[in-house]
Structure 1
Amino acid sequence: MPPWAASVPRMTFLRTGRAIDSLRLAFLCRHATKPRFANLRARSASTHVSPTAINLRPNIPPQNKELHDTLSALSGAAETYVNISRLQLALQGLAAQDAVTRVAVLGLDSQVSAQRLARLLLADPLGAEEQWEKELEKAGDGNERAVLLKYGDESDALAPTPLYKVLSIPSRVLRSHNLEILVSTLNVNVSNKVASASTESSTESILVPKLQATSARGLPVPYPVHKTLIVGEGLDSAILFGRFSSDTAEEVGNMVKVAVELPAPQEEPNPEVQTGSVAINVQVGIQALASFRESIQNSVAYERGWFRSGLPALSHWLTQDLQPSESVKPTLKTLVASIADEVEADIAQADSAQLQKLASIPTNHEVAASIVGHLESWAEKSHTELRDQLDEAFSAQNWHKLSWWKLFWRVDDITMISSEILERRWLVSAEKSSIYLAGRMNQVGFPEDIQRHAVNEIPEVTMQDTAPTAENPRTDLSTEVRKPQPWPEHIATARTELIADTVPPLQALAQRLILQTFSTTSLSSALSALLYVSVSSISLFEASAVAALGLTFSLRKMQKLWEGARESWQGTVREEGRRTLKSTEELVRRIISSQGKETLIEAEGAAERRDAREAVQKVRDALDRIGKQKLDAREHVR
């Protein structure tokens, strides 16, 4: 069907020996007017937003909000796998009631053929040749800037952009379908594709064309589109494109159409046959258009040439699924589904690469035995270090500064001295050595993060997960078991928890003992003075005995409790060190015995891929619900 047939009342080509009712055709032509509504033009803004524009929160239609939210969440959950340019295009479409649809017409290594084809698809055969057609028809060397075709009047003043040239076209096709067409080139040089295969797939090159700025230092800017029409000349270009698109996903479906310039057939092809490629002849279409514009008496020749050129199939594909709708346009739904398919394909590729990595991991008996040997050596040295370092620390002068009789002037140094012992004497070398051991394990394929295996295995010290802050005050009286940390970091975590949970009670006990000692001594002294004053038969020496008894009792109690607390704290520190080393050794042995393959899959991005899959599923569910709502609305109308 010609591109103007959609805007003209239904035209019936009466074929009786290729004859057409001339009077009916002349009547339609006389009443068909060109879309030059200078004062009542309804133009849609381009979806290409300047990066310097202020990002205001869009007024999302209620029926699109769920899909918009799930698609926005996909950008965070699958940022490694999703194409941000295509995702932003889909979000912009969902944020508007009737968003602009972008279609790219890309010539294979030449923009000239794409410009000529775009002119035929948008030209109005009922009117004379316009200025925009002449500009678009200009031949060149294939290195021209891209051209963006928008609906509007040719006299409109447009802001210049270094990425493409903008042409305002009074086309019914662009106006009625809210359409924009980008005319550019697609480089299908196989050698260049191989060089860039690691960074960009052929699907991305087709659906996200790169626009080069006019500046010599300008970087290519992605311009995502909803659909792409590839234009080639001859069989050689078709073969080159086949090699280029060998890795193109099959899910692109109707989003990509390939038109190959071939000699026109003798018989008219059937335009209703939907395939991924179509044979066209642009020169035959140009001649047919020129003959019809010359005289409507050439309508039969125009019809024959138009159908022989193969352009009706492209005209139908161009406007397919672009009808305004209260729900999401089919083209936009196809774009969202394509994004979800692309993310799932990238996730599956990452899983495959992970499995290949696992298959190449050396996990034979010799490697495991070597790691076990390093582990045993580490454990032996760590236990020796724990014993010797703590013995040296508890026999040092600093620790003796905390003797019971020195508490009266050393009570404020308890936190500092105790923390210093834990920070400088408690498994310091063992922690550093564990890093080297973890590196050896990772080198042969064992995981760095064993958090999933470490549940209930790392020695637990009850504490609050976070320290009290102004935003998160610690108001509850219950304690929680700390979260398991990736080995070997749990040694440092255990040290921090020991400082946080055992040093403050030791400090508080010392302060309480001093207070009790002063209180008991003061009470006994007061009682001694009272006896001396009130009882005349008691001498000063006898009254002082009561005060001495109270002082002796309080000091003895202070000595007993404080020395017991110090010994208990020493034992706790030693025991926690042994538990930490023992649990770590047992855990690593189990990982070695299981070869660590299952853990490696979980460790290397498995959680990220799982979250990405869940986000994709939510997008698909939102799409399904939109489709069901549309069906329910149709049933309600019936």
Structure 2
Amino acid sequence: MPRWVASAPRLTILRKPGTVDRTAHSSLTKLRVRSASTHVAPTAINLRPNIPPRNRELYDALSALGGAAETHVNISRLQLALRGLAAQDAVTRVAVLGLNSQSSAQRLARLLLADPLGAEARWEKELVKAGDGNARAVLLKYGDESDSHAPTPLYKILSVPSRILQSHNLEILVSTLNVNVANTVALASTESSAESMLVPKLQATSARRLPVPYPVHKTLILGEGIDSAIGFGRFLSDNIQDMDDMVKVAIELPAPSDEANADPKTQVGSAAINMEVGTKALGTFRESIQNSIVYERGWFRSGLPVLSDWLVRHLQPVGSIKPIQKTLIASIADDVEASITNEDTARLHKLALVPKDQDVAASVIGHLESWAEKSHTELRDQLDEAFLAKNWHKLSWWKLLWRVDDVTMISSEILERRWLVSAEKNSIYLAGRMSQAGYPEDVQKLAVASIPEVTTQDTAPTSENPRTDLSTHVRKPTPWPGHIASARTELINDTVPPLQALAQRLILQTFSTTSLSSAASALLYASVSSFSVFEASAVAALGLTFSLRRMQKLWEGARESWQGTVREEGRRTLKDTEETVRMIVRSHRKKKVGEDEGMVERRAAREAVGRVREALGKISGGGAGDGNGKA
């Protein structure tokens, strides 16, 4: 039987057994070189090729899409599309993936490419015995069986002298698709199921064993039985009903009773096949050409004609590029647009969860009013309790003679333990609520300046005017959460020392007046003979009474004034804090949701997608449905 051998992509010659045609041999050698150069490693960095003028606009638009939508586009598929536009007759990649098993996919690829007019070839035997699901992937390329290929750790290369591969410039990758439910969770977090089918991952045999993406134009999924179909259904995360040109699902089931039940028109999205019937039909025809009718019936019963038609569909050039290339580019644009839409939806959902400004302000004001009410109640009750306590009565005027050194300790203790202690803690919680509500900068940076009061000669505390509510320096602005602590420190520094000084001065004045009156009494008694002891003692008693009365009046007045100052300063501090928070809420304007970097990037990506679609529409030729080819 004559044997057909390809000498060029569009030229065939008849060679008799035992003869050698040098021209054909030279052409075949050139074809092998060209065929070997069609595969470019996914990680290769190539210079800009010579783009055909008719594809230059689409090529530039697609390249710009890779830069503008870097986080949304599948780089492997984009590189495949760019290489297709750069070549005059680009290679079409088809993947045949078995569900969890590669051996069945290898048998299916053999049936689709085998020549029924010839005997079983060597590549068929090598393909069938290539291994089980744990073996490397197999790449089927057009060529003579004696061709040698450079070894690669990703797959095993077999040269197949098939007219289907030659006429349509096809390469078929035979591998496996793992659809175990345990791996579905990991898949959902990284890529869609459609991407995992159109970009199979090849496991390298190197030490690192990192998966390498191998993008294809079309993918044929093969399952065995109902269980594999159910597993594939669980694996799917995308709707592939509209991807029939790119993804085909075949399930091996029992063959129908006759070929009429296997009409290809009734099997659109998926196909039911039986490889055993197809293998038997192929063997029957190879035994004798007289079994052609039996072969045809068995072949149609196996369901394989549906896959044969799908394999070469849209591979004949229509216009400047093949319809399958246009489908690939349109699919890339659709995927980018879907990714951008999903990100926009997630962004809008996140913004919808953010409470409104009015609600946030009302919540903060509500917490502020509750805090102010509790703080004023605390100030009143705690100071009442402190000024009725035993410690404060230790500073009564008649105990001042031996308690004068305890004035600083007792008054400071009242301020530190009774003066707005709980209010200070709750103000920190209120500041935290404001920060959570969106006021971080205002809470940290806004300062409240107290009213400055400078001590002068006319307003300085004296024994006649024992004022203790005056500051000796200008108060520095402090952030409002620390306003209470700052006010307490100022009270201790500004009011306690004058009170201590007044107590010591009153004691000194009392002793001085008493001593002078006593001395005057003794002088009168000694110098005036008419003065009796009783009369002289009356002068000393008068001086003692006057000094004690003066000390009582001034000290008790100073104590009452200090109590009023402490109360008033507490109310003023609470009022300033409350007004500050209200002012923050009133003056605060939340930044408008601006165009963050992600939004600008998504807009640029959408514009790049639009340019790709516009350039794709200018490509002459019909749609993807106009390029049906026959083997």
TM-score normalised by length of structure 2:
0.58
- Secondary structure of 1:159's partner? coil
Deviations 1:340-389 (A, max 9, x none): 0001111111011111111221335463468899xxxxxxxxxxxxxxxx
In structure 1, distance between residues paired with 2:440 and 2:197:
39
In structure 1, distance between residues paired with 2:247 and 2:586:
53
What's the offset of the Cα at 1:153?
0.8
In structure 2, distance between residues paired with 1:441 and 1:292:
84
The alignment status of 1:147 with 2:138, answered yes or no, reads yes
- Contact 1:231–1:261 (CA under 8 A) maintained in structure 2: yes
CA 1:586 to 1:131, structure 2 compared with 1: closer, same or farther past 3 Å? Answer: same
In structure 2, distance between residues paired with 1:603 and 1:440:
26
How many residues of Structure 1 are paired with residues of Structure 2 in the alignment?
402
- Secondary structure of 2:35's partner? coil
Deviations 1:296-349 (A, max 9, x none): 111111111111101111111101111134511100000000000001111111
The alignment status of 1:309 with 2:302, answered yes or no, reads yes
In structure 2, distance between residues paired with 1:48 and 1:125:
29
The alignment status of 1:344 with 2:321, answered yes or no, reads no
- Contact 1:362–1:445 (CA under 8 A) maintained in structure 2: no
- Contact 2:361–2:585 (CA under 8 A) maintained in structure 1: no
Residue 278 of structure 2 is matched in structure 1 by 285
- Contact 2:58–2:616 (CA under 8 A) maintained in structure 1: yes
CA 1:278 to 1:445, structure 2 compared with 1: closer, same or farther past 3 Å? Answer: farther
Letter in 2 for 1:61: P
Residue 27 of structure 2 is matched in structure 1 by 40
Among 104, 115, 119, the alignment partner of 1:113 is 104
Residue 190 of structure 2 is matched in structure 1 by 199
What's the offset of the Cα at 1:591?
3.9
Unaligned runs of 5+ in 1: 5-28, 374-438, 449-584, 632-638
- RMSD value, Cα: 3.7
In structure 2, distance between residues paired with 1:40 and 1:146:
29
Residue 501 of structure 1 is matched in structure 2 by none
In structure 2, distance between residues paired with 1:443 and 1:149:
61
CA 1:139 to 1:155, structure 2 compared with 1: closer, same or farther past 3 Å? Answer: closer
In structure 1, distance between residues paired with 2:336 and 2:608:
10
Deviations 1:274-317 (A, max 9, x none): 51100000011100111111111111111111111011111111
- Contact 2:248–2:270 (CA under 8 A) maintained in structure 1: yes
- Secondary structure of 1:150's partner? strand
Q: For residues 220-619 of structure 1, what are the structure 2 equivalents within 5 Å?
A: 220-248=211-239, 251-268=242-259, 269-273=262-266, 275-363=268-356, 365=358, 367-368=360-361, 444=437, 589=587, 591-592=589-590, 599-600=592-593, 602-603=595-596, 605-619=598-612
Deviations 1:8-47 (A, max 9, x none): xxxxxxxxxxxxxxxxxxxxx9999xxx964433353454
Greater radius of gyration (CA): 2
Deviations 1:212-265 (A, max 9, x none): 001242210000000000000011111111111133455433200000000000
In structure 2, distance between residues paired with 1:445 and 1:604:
21
- Contact 2:241–2:269 (CA under 8 A) maintained in structure 1: no
- Secondary structure of 2:157's partner? strand
CA 1:106 to 1:95, structure 2 compared with 1: closer, same or farther past 3 Å? Answer: same
- Contact 1:361–1:444 (CA under 8 A) maintained in structure 2: no
- Contact 2:203–2:211 (CA under 8 A) maintained in structure 1: yes
CA 1:604 to 1:289, structure 2 compared with 1: closer, same or farther past 3 Å? Answer: same
TM-score normalised by length of structure 1:
0.58
CA 1:38 to 1:116, structure 2 compared with 1: closer, same or farther past 3 Å? Answer: farther
What's the offset of the Cα at 1:97?
1.2
- Contact 2:137–2:154 (CA under 8 A) maintained in structure 1: yes
Higher mean C-alpha displacement, 86-95 vs 188-197: 188-197
- Contact 2:101–2:133 (CA under 8 A) maintained in structure 1: yes
In structure 2, distance between residues paired with 1:348 and 1:308:
44
- Secondary structure of 1:211's partner? strand
Letter in 2 for 1:220: P
Residue 81 of structure 2 is matched in structure 1 by 90
In structure 1, distance between residues paired with 2:67 and 2:111:
42
- Contact 1:113–1:231 (CA under 8 A) maintained in structure 2: yes
CA 1:248 to 1:261, structure 2 compared with 1: closer, same or farther past 3 Å? Answer: same
- Contact 2:244–2:268 (CA under 8 A) maintained in structure 1: no
